[in-house]
Amino acid sequence: MSFQEVTLALLEGTKYTMGLFFLTLIIAIPLGMVVAALAMSRLKIVSKITNVFIWIIRGTPLMLQLIVVQYVPGLVFGFPMKIRFLSALIAFSVNYAAYFAEIYRGGIISIPRGQYEASYVLGLNRKQIVGKIVIPQVFKRIMPPMSNEVITLVKDTSLANIIGIVEIIMSAKEIVATKGIIWPLFYTGVFYLVMCGALTLLFNYIEKKLDYYKI
Amino acid sequence: MAFFEVKDIKKKFGKTNVLKGVSFELEKGEVLAIIGSSGSGKTTLLRCINFLEEPDQGKVSVGDDVLIDIPSIDIANNMSDKLEAKIKKIEQGKLTEEQKQAKIAKLLDSEENKARKKWKKEHALSDEELRAKRLHLGMVFQSFNLFPHYNVLDNVMLAAKLQAKENSKIDISAVEKNALELLDKVGLKDKIHNYPCELSGGQQQRVAIARALALQPDILCFDEPTSALDPELTGEVLKVIKGLKNSDTTMIVVTHEMEFARKVADKVIFMANGVIEEMGTPRQVFGNPKSEKTKAFLQKAEEII
Ligand SMILES: Nc1ncnc2c1ncn2[C@@H]1O[C@H](COP(=O)(O)OP(=O)(O)OP(=O)(O)O)[C@@H](O)[C@H]1O
Ligand SMILES: [Mg+2]
C-alpha cells in the first residue's frame, strides 16, 4: 500500500476523530455549565448528587464508560444502542462535561469575595454581577486548564475504537491487520501532532488576547 | 432629626457578640472618624450599614428614608406557653443549677434566632428595594476591589452606565462627563485608559474613591482606606479624602491614622469590644479622653509613632 493510499485511509478515519472531537465540545461546554450550576446549587441534595456523579465520571476510565454506554442499555434494558458513534458521543460528552464543570467551578470559586461586595455596594443586580463581573474574569481564569482538557480530548478520541468507531488509530490498525505493514500505526502520530499543534496555536492566541489585564 | 442616624445596631456571629448596640448621628457634610483596636467591630459596623452584613437589630436612616429597621427580639419576656413549658421542664430536671442555666440560655438563643429569621423572611425586600436603599451609601474598601478587567474609566462608569441602560432618563454622555470630572478630582486624568494592574496601590484606591462617588451617595464609607498602602502612598489618598470634606461630602472613615482623624474629622468615635467607648469632637477625644480605655489606646498609638 502506497504512502498516498495510507494517507487517504487515515484521513477517512480523521473524519470520525474530528467529528467526535467537535461534537463533544459543542455538547460538553454548555453541559458542563449545567453540571457546575447543579454542583454549586444551594440545595444540598442537588449538589450532593451532582458531586457523586462527578466523582463517578472522573473516578472511572473513559474506556469503561464507553463500554457501559454501548452495551448496558442492550444487556440490561433490552434497548441496544444501534449507532456506535452516538454511544461514543454520549460517553465523551458526559465525561468531558464533568471535567469542564470542575474547571468552571474552580474558576467561579477563585473570584474573590471583594468583587461581589464591590458590585453589591455599586447597586449591580445579580444578572449584571454574573454577566459583567464574574463571567469575564472566569473566562480568563479557566482558559489555561480548558486548553489542556481540549488538547487531551483530541488524543482521547482514539479510545472510541474500543467500541468499533473507525477513527484514526482504528483505520491504521485495519491496514496493519490486512496488509501486514506496521508503519501506518506510527504515522497516525503525525495526524494527532498536527491537530494538537493547531489547537495550541489557537489557545495561545486567545490567551494573548486576554492578556491586556492581570488578575 | 439628624441627617444620618444609626440606632442600637447589634450583631452576633455565632456566639461572638461583635456589636452590642451602637448608635450615632451625623449631620450632612460631617466627617466621622472611627478608631479602635483590632477586632473591636469597626468593619462589621460599616458592613452592617452598607447591607453587606445583616444586623440582628437596629435602625439606620438617611433623611426621611429608613434604610434598616430591625426590631429587637426579646424572647425572654414574650415567651410562648410551649417555650415556658420547655423551660419549666429543664428547671425541674436533675441537672446542676449551672447546667440548667446554660441549657435555658441556649434554648432562648435558638428561639430568638428562629424568631428573627421569621421576621426577616416576612420583611424581606425585593432586589429593587434593597438596591434603592443601598445606593444611599457608598463604600471604599481596604483592598480597593477594583474590577481588574475594566480600565480606570470603565470602573468608574460601569454602575452608572448600567443604571442608564435601565432608566432612559439618565443621560449616558453625562455619565462619562461626570466620571472624567471625578477622575480629574482624584488626580488620575492621565490614567483613564490604564487597567488596575498597571496602577500603584494609592492610584487604585483613588480610582475606587471616584467609582464610589460616581453614584453620588449620601454617605461615603471608608474602611481603613490606607491600611494596604505603603506609607509614602498613604498621603495621596488622605489628601483626596480631605478634599472631599471641602466639597461637603458626608463621610465615615474607619482609620488607624490618628493625625488624619484629629485634623479632618468633625466627630470621632472610639470603639472597644463592640460598643462606642467614647464619642466627641477630635479635641475632646484626643485632647481630653474620659475613658481609661481610650487613654490606653491613644497612648499605645502614640508609642507606635
Ligand atoms: N464573618 C464573620 N464571621 C465570624 N466572625 C467575624 C466575622 N467578621 C468579623 N468577625 C469577628 O468580629 C470581630 C470584629 O471584627 P471586625 O472586622 O469588625 O473588627 P475591626 O474593628 O474592623 O478590626 P480591624 O481593626 O482588625 O479591622 C472579630 O472578633 C472578628 O473575628
Ligand atoms: Mg476592620
- Higher-pLDDT residue of B217 and B110 is B217
- Is B158 part of the contact surface with chain A (CB cutoff 8 Å)? yes
Contact between A121 and B138 using a beta-carbon 8 Å cutoff = yes
Segment B44-51 mean pLDDT: 97
CB under 8 Å to B68, separation ≥6 — which residues?
A: B48, B49, B51, B55, B58, B59, B60, B133
Strand partners, B160: none
Strands of B4-13's sheet in order across: B16-26, B4-13, B57-62, B65-70
C-alpha–C-alpha distance, residues B81 and B167, integer Å: 52
Contact between B195 and A124 using a beta-carbon 8 Å cutoff = no
Q: Are strands B16-26 and B4-13 parallel, antiparallel or unpaired?
A: antiparallel
Amino acid B5: pLDDT: 97
Residue B73 clears pLDDT 80, i.e. is over it: yes
Closest-approach residue (CA) in chain A for B161 = A124
User: Which residues of B fall within a CB distance of 8 Å from A114?
Assistant: 141, 143, 145
Which atom of ligand 1 is the closest one to the Cα of B53? 1
- Higher-pLDDT residue of A4 and B15 is A4
- Rounded to the nearest 10 degrees, the angle between the axes of helix A168-179 and helix A183-209 is 170
Cell of B95: 441537672
Residue B88 clears pLDDT 90, i.e. is over it: no
Residue B158 clears pLDDT 90, i.e. is over it: yes
Segment A167-180 mean pLDDT: 94
Closest-approach residue (CA) in chain A for B137 = A121
Which atom of ligand 1 is the closest one to the Cα of B46? 18
Closest-approach residue (CA) in chain A for B156 = A122
Which ligand lies nearest to the CA atom of residue B48 in the structure?
1
Which atom of ligand 1 is the closest one to the Cα of B44? 18
Q: What is this model's ipTM?
A: 0.91
- Residues framing ligand 1 (Cβ under 6 A): B 13, 16, 18, 36, 38-44
The mean pLDDT of chain B is: 93
What 8-state DSSP symbol labels residue B287? Answer: I
Q: Are the CB atoms for B103 and B111 separated by under 8 Å?
A: no
CB under 8 Å to A27, separation ≥6 — which residues?
A: A89, A93, A97
What single-letter amino acid sits at B278? E
Residue B169 clears pLDDT 80, i.e. is over it: yes
Give the DSSP letter string of B75-143: GGGS--HHHHHHHHHHHHSSS-HHHHHHHHHHHHHHHHHHHHHHHHHHTPPPHHHHHHHHTTEEEE-TT
The answer for A78, left when phi > 0, alpha when psi is -120 to 50, beta otherwise, is left
Contact between A213 and B197 using a beta-carbon 8 Å cutoff = yes
Size of interface A-B (CB pairs under 8 A): 61
Q: Are the CB atoms for A171 and A12 separated by under 8 Å?
A: yes
**How many folded domains does chain A comprise?**
1
- Is B124 part of the contact surface with chain A (CB cutoff 8 Å)? no
Determine the distance from the C-alpha atom of residue A17 to the mean position of all C-alpha atoms in its chain, rounded to a whole number.
13
Closest-approach residue (CA) in chain A for B220 = A121
Residues 175-204 of B with CB under 8 A from A: 195-197
Ligand 2 centroid vs A68 CA: distance in angstroms?
Answer: 55
Q: Are the CB atoms for B198 and B170 separated by under 8 Å?
A: no
- Which of B43, B151, B154, B162 should one mutate to test binding to chain A, selecting the residue with the greatest count of A CBs within 10 A? B162
Domain ranges of chain B: 81-121
Lowest mean pLDDT among A211-215, B59-63, B186-190, B205-209: A211-215
- Is A110 part of the contact surface with chain B (CB cutoff 8 Å)? no
Among B20, B40, B44, say which to mutate for ligand 1: greatest number of ligand atoms within 8 Å of CB: B44
Our CA angle for A65, A88, A75, nearest 5°, is: 60
Ligand 2 centroid vs B224 CA: distance in angstroms?
Answer: 7
Residue B113 clears pLDDT 70, i.e. is over it: yes
User: Which residues of A fall within a CB distance of 8 Å from B159?
Assistant: 122-124
Contact between A120 and B215 using a beta-carbon 8 Å cutoff = no
Contact between A121 and B147 using a beta-carbon 8 Å cutoff = no
Amino acid B166: pLDDT: 86
Residue B161 clears pLDDT 80, i.e. is over it: yes
Structure confidence at residue B112 as a pLDDT band (50, 70, 90): confident
Cell of B237: 489618598
Reported as a single tens digit per residue, the pLDDT across A112-167 is: 999 999 999 999 999 999 999 999 999 999 999 999 999 999 999 999 999 999 99
Closest-approach residue (CA) in chain B for A125 = B127
Amino acid A25: pLDDT: 98
Which residue range(s) make up the domain with A169?
3-212
> What CATH code is carried by the domain that includes residue A158?
1.10.3720.10
Residue B77 clears pLDDT 80, i.e. is over it: no
Lowest mean pLDDT among A104-108, B107-111, B175-179: B107-111
Q: Are the CB atoms for B53 and B272 separated by under 8 Å?
A: no
Q: 3-state DSSP call for residue B28?
A: coil
Amino acid B305: pLDDT: 59
- Is A121 part of the contact surface with chain B (CB cutoff 8 Å)? yes
Contact between B197 and A123 using a beta-carbon 8 Å cutoff = no
Number of H helices and number of E strands within chain B? 11, 10
- Is B49 part of the contact surface with chain A (CB cutoff 8 Å)? no
Segment B149-161 mean pLDDT: 97
pTM (2 d.p.): 0.91
